[in-house]
Amino acid sequence: MTKSLFLIILMTSYSIHSAEMIVGEEKMEPGIDLVFEAAPKDIVHPKEYFRAESNTDIHIEMLANWSEDSPNGSPVGGFVAYLNVFVKIKAESGTEVQVQLTPHLNMSDSLHYAQNIKLPGKIDELYDVTFTISPPIKDELGIHYDWNKLFGPLIEKSVFTYKNLNFEQIALSSRR
Domain range spanning residue 132?
A: 2-171
Domain with 113 in it: what CATH number?
2.60.40.2480
Q: Work out the burial of residue 24: count CB atoms within 10 Å of its CB; fewer than 13 is exposed, 13-18 middle, 19 or more buried.
A: middle
> Is position 176 within any domain?
no
Which pLDDT band, with edges at 50, 70 and 90, does 4 fall under?
Answer: very low
| pLDDT at position 7 | 39
Per residue in 72-112, pLDDT (tens digit) is 999 999 999 999 999 999 999 999 999 999 999 999 999 99
- For the chain, the domain total comes to 1
Q: Is 85 part of a structural domain of the chain?
A: yes
pLDDT at 159 over 70: yes
pLDDT at site 1:
53
The per-residue pLDDT for range 10-63, each reduced to its tens digit, is 444 444 345 899 999 999 999 999 999 999 999 999 999 999 999 999 999 999
Residue 12, CA atoms < 13 Å, CB-side half-sphere: 6
pLDDT at 19: 85
